Amino acid sequence: MLLAMSLPELTSAQRTELELVARGRQDKSRTMRELGQPETPDAAHALLLRLGLWDDARTPYAERLRAALTPVGLPVPAFRDEDRLDLTGLPAFAIDDEGNRDPDDAVGVEALGGGLTRLWVHVADVAALVAPDSPLDLEARSRGATLYLPDQTIGMLPDALVEQAGLGLHETSLALSISLDLDAEGNAEAVDVALTRVRVTRLTYAAAQARLDAGEEPFVTLARLARASRALRESEGALSIDLPEVRVKADEEGAQVIPLPKPEMRFVVQECMTLAGWGAAIFADDNGIPLPYATQDAPTREVRGESLSAQWARRKTLARTRFQPSPGPHHGMGLDLYAQATSPLRRYLDLVVHQQLRAFLTGSGPMSSKVMASHIAEAQLNADGTRQAERLSRRHHTLRFIAAQPERAWTAVVVDRRGPQATLLIPDLAYDVPLVTPASPGTELQIRLTDVNLPQLSVRARITEHEPREDHEGASFQQGQEI
């Protein structure tokens, strides 16, 4: 039988056949049929592992989902000379996780009279280099988003473009900047969008937090504005969901799952990006500019409490965000209109927002709602595949990390149950597993994870001898949000 073959006995054609099935590029396999096994990608993946032809570092999910795995090699134009508002005298900071390679947004403040503060959110002027329907635009649309895998990153745009347009990578940077004149309660008295020239300093969240803790400006003012904005949005029904966040890293040697701290400056930057999206949407609506507006239906029910199980239940009440050419409310954010506008290096629809705003500012004329609707549909389909490939790849490498520690006891919290089966969330992994247990939501258990199956992306959980403990109301486990 084939399972007993030594590697030299396996023909090149058989190996190629198995790999094509495992990668989702071929449906039928004579080899699999001869073994009496299902002709499925998972079964072929398992066979390749058993034969030693693939190792546990190999992930086929991006290929199965047709996500692009090759860098964009198209030429990148240079920025052309044009009139810009010179803001190089105002400090601006691009605040990201350590190791971030595509800095596309930065924040700063400007004191105004009458109790107002101008919040500036500068975003890399990618649309100056990527015109609608250009080769770069068509390639970015076909990808939908940058692909972030634990072992590699495949950009939506060429690395050379990121190097040219990224904020803080040169002495001065060119930006499309969104400004909001905010009062002490977080209300916006005015919004504006401009093409600018800025001077940006790059900081990690930890470094920015240290400067906030030391009482330095503009970090203190940014934090004050963010707190007021969040309070105002929550009064309008915005939901706060606080679940675990981790970073998964992997290479041929193994995988790591690293719980991420969430200093206040991470929340501050998130809130500034939310305000920028709101400001861009207001500006576009006031000026009749079609955008891919982000909308979300109202939650299906109200969930009270701050425990981990309550956060889990609250997230399940949220509908998926939809993108459409006309404005509508985003209930999860507590906003009457909103557009994602701060990641044009990484998300195609953010780039479309910039193309539309830039077209209006330069007088070249934005694309119509009908044309944009087709772009939204195409980009969303492609971005969905990218995001699913990311989720499956993170799950795969998380299981590698688990498999390397078979005796480790993990703390888990019951966050949901249906009949006899409960869902347990492991905060250190941001990973959930099913388990038959009478424990009620909120109960903390010590579990071990065994029988890792990479092709099936599954693992078994069993309770250790330790007694369960109740998850206290108000316990803080943190959820990540892309900046």
**What spatial distance separates the first Cα and last Cα of the chain, rounded to whole Å?**
52
Convert 67-104 to b/e letters by CB count within 10 Å (16 or more is b): bbeeebebebeeeeeeebeebeebbbbbbbeeeeebbb
Name residue, tokens 């498999």.
Answer: 403
| Residue ranges of the chain that CATH labels 1.10.10.10 | 2-54
| Residue ranges of the chain that CATH labels 2.40.50.140 | 401-470
3-state secondary structure 138-190: HHHHHHCECEEECCEEECCCCHHHHHHHCCCCCCCEEEEEEEEEECCCCCEEE
**Structural contact between residues 233 and 374, judged by C-beta atoms closer than 8 angstroms:** no
pLDDT digits over 411-442, tens only?
Answer: 999 999 999 999 999 999 999 999 999 999 99
Question: What integer pLDDT is reported at residue 11 of this predicted model?
Answer: 86
Instruction: Determine the residue type at 78.
Output: A
pLDDT digits over 194-225, tens only?
Answer: 999 999 999 999 999 999 999 999 999 999 99
Q: Which fold has domain 401-470?
A: OB fold (Dihydrolipoamide Acetyltransferase, E2P) (2.40.50)
Class of domain 2-54: mainly alpha
Q: Is the pLDDT of residue 467 over 70?
A: no
pLDDT digits over 333-346, tens only?
Answer: 999 999 999 999 99
- For every residue of 63-113, DSSP letters joined together read HHTT---S------PPPPP---EE-TTS-EEEEE-TT-----EEEEEEE-S
Residue closest to 187 by CA, chosen among 249, 110, 101, 115: 115
Q: How confident is the model at residue 116 (pLDDT cuts 50, 70, 90)?
A: very high
The mean pLDDT of 267-279, rounded to a whole number, is 98
Q: Is the pLDDT of residue 351 over 80?
A: yes
Q: How confident is the model at residue 483 (pLDDT cuts 50, 70, 90)?
A: very low
